[in-house]
Amino acid sequence: MSKSKVMWKRFRERLAEIRWEVRRRYYIFKENVNKKTAKPKAAVKGLFKKYLVQPFKKYICNPIKNGYVKFTKTKVGGFLHKYIFHPVAYFFNRFVFRPLGQVFNRNFFHAMIYLLPALILLCIFTFYPIINSIILAFYKNYTPVDKMFDGYTLDNFRDIIARPGFVAALRNTAIIVFISVPISVIISLFVAVMLNSIKRLKSFFQTIFFLPYVTNTIAIGLVFSYMFDYRYGLINKALKVLGIAAIHWKDAQASYFNAMTTLMIYIIWGSLAFKILVFTAGLQNIDKQYYDAAKVDGTTRWRIFRRITVPLLSPMIAYITITSLIGSFKTYTTVVAIYGEEGRTAGGKDLRTIVFYVYDYIMGGKALNPGELSRGAAASLILFGIILVFTLIQLYVSKKRVHY
């Protein structure tokens, strides 16, 4: 018989063997199905192992391995193996493949499946814009139309600080932050304590105080606009009843002080709801025995509030203060809600905040001019820096004053 015929014969025999094996396993499998002990996955795996993995090892891996072992037996091969191949392989195994395997293990991929949607969105809408705007702030004469720029510079920062509107924006933001935040925290703290001490209709009042939170800012702003109207507004009518002359709250004749007061009342009122909610939750977590103990010791209500309630609530107070401080630095919608997109009264009193200032550079197609977009980015970086500084100060202070 010729060599090819022998090979054909062996091949056919092999095929028949495989067919029998498959059939045998199929019957075992079927029997197991009847006995309800079938393991289809294991059955397939067994076949896979026997006819793919083992032959691969036998006909490809082992010859290579044997060849290499034979190679190391030679003088040159032994030297190469000992001083080059083995150390290199060991190095890669120990310091590259194994650590990588530890990081990209099964858990990692499972975690990634859950994290990926959020991670992708964060990358697109948060991380990329942040990094991009930081870079943007240092471009010189950048035009978004052709994406050209003349190198890097710090001039953008100098330009915006020198512009007339910047100081006003800074002043307005500072006033809003440093007046509205403390006042609203204090008011909401008192309201929460009062709410906590009433017995009947507690949840009814809690609902009422929480309503502003679920109402649209712009809608409330419009209502406030009407309330503070000079001629028809509820406030001025109420003042009239009390015998006080009508006040120009927000119209063309309004002073800067009045316009700011109107805005402040609106901001404080709008921000009370969430704070009250958090404080009420915090108050309910304070052990009632502290109050009983204070009562036995004859502590006055004010002292109980000052010496017990406030310190025990201090983690909540710190949290609320930090978040609302950050929020107030970014005030924008509230100003728009009352004074419109221009951010100033009809009389020209400027109430724009830093965010306004940032928007100024990009609104109405201005961003297409060379360098404007970079200045906007620089302004937002400055805002970021200010917020960062105050948050750090706040954290430092609360570390000393907050009792966890």
Residues that bind another protein (CB under 8 A): 287, 289-290, 292-300, 303, 307-308, 311-312, 314, 403
Q: Which is nearer to another protein, 220 or 402 (CB)?
A: 402
Neighbours of 103 (CB within 10 A): 8
Measured CA angle at 368 (ends 365, 374), to 5 deg: 115
Q: Which residues contact 356 (CB under 8 A, 6 or more apart)?
A: 169, 332, 335, 343
Q: How far is the CB of 312 from another protein (least distance, A)?
A: 6
Q: Which is nearer to another protein, 146 or 287 (CB)?
A: 287
Amino acid at 127: F
Q: 3-state class of 100 per DSSP?
A: helix
Q: Which is nearer to another protein, 87 or 311 (CB)?
A: 311
Q: Do the beta carbons of residue 351 and residue 321 sit within 8 Å?
A: no
Q: Which is nearer to another protein, 37 or 289 (CB)?
A: 289
Q: Which is nearer to another protein, 80 or 294 (CB)?
A: 294
Q: For residue 176, give the nearest of 393, 319, 325 by alpha carbon.
A: 325
Q: How far is the CB of 295 from another protein (least distance, A)?
A: 5
Q: How far is the CB of 397 from another protein (least distance, A)?
A: 16
- Which residues share a beta bridge with 143? 148
Q: Which is nearer to another protein, 103 or 296 (CB)?
A: 296
Q: Which residues contact 59 (CB under 8 A, 6 or more apart)?
A: none
Q: How far is the CB of 92 from another protein (least distance, A)?
A: 51
Cα gap 327→120, rounded to integer Å: 25
Q: What are the structure tokens assigned to 116, written together?
A: 């990926």
Q: How far is the CB of 310 from another protein (least distance, A)?
A: 9
Q: Which is nearer to another protein, 54 or 285 (CB)?
A: 285
Q: How far is the CB of 194 from another protein (least distance, A)?
A: 21
Q: How far is the CB of 205 from another protein (least distance, A)?
A: 25
Surface-to-core class of residue 27, CB atoms within 10 Å of its CB (0-12 exposed, 13-18 middle, 19+ buried)? exposed
Cα gap 24→247, rounded to integer Å: 98
Q: 3-state class of 158 per DSSP?
A: helix
Amino acid at 280: T
